[in-house]
Amino acid sequence: MKKYLLTRQELSQLLDRLAKETNLYAPVKDKTGATWGKVKNTAEVHLEEVNTREPAKGFIFPRCEVLLRFDQKGNALEPEPPEEQIVFGIRPCDARAIAFLEKFYTIEGKTDPYVKARREKTTFIGLACNRTAPTCFCLALGGSPHDATGMDLLLTDLGDLFLAEPLTAKGEKLIAGYPEAKNEHLTAGAKLRKKAEAEIPLRIDTAKLQEVLPKAFASKIWETLALNCVNCGACTFLCPTCHCFDVTDETVRGSTVRCRVWDSCQFTLYSRHASGHNPRLDPRARYRNRVMDKFYYTVEQAGVISCVGCGRCIIACPANIDIRTTVERLLKEFPEE
């Protein structure tokens, strides 16, 4: 698609206008880094960190999605419909994760109406990463610090100018009226892409992984890979593609809601059957499930590896488990072990 140009000032003006007209979300500064927040103007946007602590999945798959609402007499009340929102500053890994969630939640033509409705109301304005973190490995899994998958508009920071690539009609609309980029700008963008990609040396043989994982399932290797894991939910809750949920009814101040809340395969309750039997009581089996899910199960289900290489689970893990090491060891030690 064609690419356009915005000056830094024009981008500020655009964001200021969007903040007035609609709900604008962007990375904002907090005690320990950057998080997503609703902003009133460009000045509140904080782009100093490589990425936000939490992923952007909450914009289409919130931690708590109200499905039904009742009053005290048992009358059903309409849940509030999602509002229009613009998300500025989403990074390529997180946008690919959004694309994954959209895909996952339409498997076999069964569309999840909640994710769909939110995605329709959301515009993602992405920002290419000119700088990566030591935990980033998007490139090893088919992504790139400059990848545009899942976004409506991708911006690349060229210094005084921003290169803007619309990917959807929503993106086109935002960028209408700005001048088209010239060759020199495209070259500058390509150079930045190459530089950022060069910062990620890791390569993963994803095709081989598909052979290795089913064979490794019953292996003893998990005993050493997962002994550290304490089965908390830090990695799953912060993972941009983890998509499991539970449904719970709660009464707050006289009104009852049925909510869909995030769940984690690391919790024992997750796999407990109604009978009380729990087929996945072994903590190592729970860690294994997470790895299998990212790199194998979602390939079977939706045709794609669901790890986008954002590195959040590596940063968040209290036991300092590194999913890259896990994958590398599986590839190296299997099936020879």
Chain residues in the site for other proteins (CB under 8 A): 31-33, 53-54, 63-64, 134-135, 224, 227-228, 230-234, 236-238, 246, 248, 250, 252, 257, 259, 261, 264, 267-269, 283, 314-316, 318-322, 324-325
The pair of three-digit structure tokens given for residue 71, joined into one six-digit string? 């009053």
SS3 assignment, position 243: coil
Q: Given candidates 77, 227, 230, 261, which one binds ligand SF4 under the rule CB under 6 A?
A: 230
Half-sphere exposure (CA, 13 Å, Cβ side) for 101? 30
- Report what 308 binds from ligand SF4, other proteins, none; CB cut-off 5-8 Å by kind: ligand SF4
Return the residues of window 170-229 that contact ligand SF4 according to CB under 6 A.
229
Indicate whether 327 belongs to the interface with ligand SF4 (CB under 6 A).
no
Place of tokens 């329709």: 120
What whole-number distance in Å separates Cα of residue 43 and Cα of residue 11?
12
Find the shortest distance in angstroms from Cβ 12 to other proteins.
28
Nearest of 41, 9, 8, 10 to residue 24 by alpha carbon: 41
Nearest of 114, 71, 15, 118 to residue 253 by alpha carbon: 71
Find the shortest distance in angstroms from Cβ 214 to ligand SF4.
19
- Binding piece for ligand SF4, criterion CB under 6 A, among 19-27, 147-155, 181-189, 304-312: 304-312
Find the shortest distance in angstroms from Cβ 232 to ligand SF4.
4
The pair of three-digit structure tokens given for residue 113, joined into one six-digit string? 């109406």
∠ CA 18-153-298, nearest 5°, is: 120
Specify whether the CB–CB gap between 139 and 145 falls below 8 A: yes
Find the shortest distance in angstroms from Cβ 191 to other proteins.
28
Find the shortest distance in angstroms from Cβ 323 to other proteins.
10
- For 178-297, strand residue ranges (E) read 245-252, 255-262
Instruction: List interacting residues with ligand SF4 (CB under 6 A).
Output: 229-232, 234-235, 238-241, 266, 287, 294, 307-313, 316-319, 321, 323
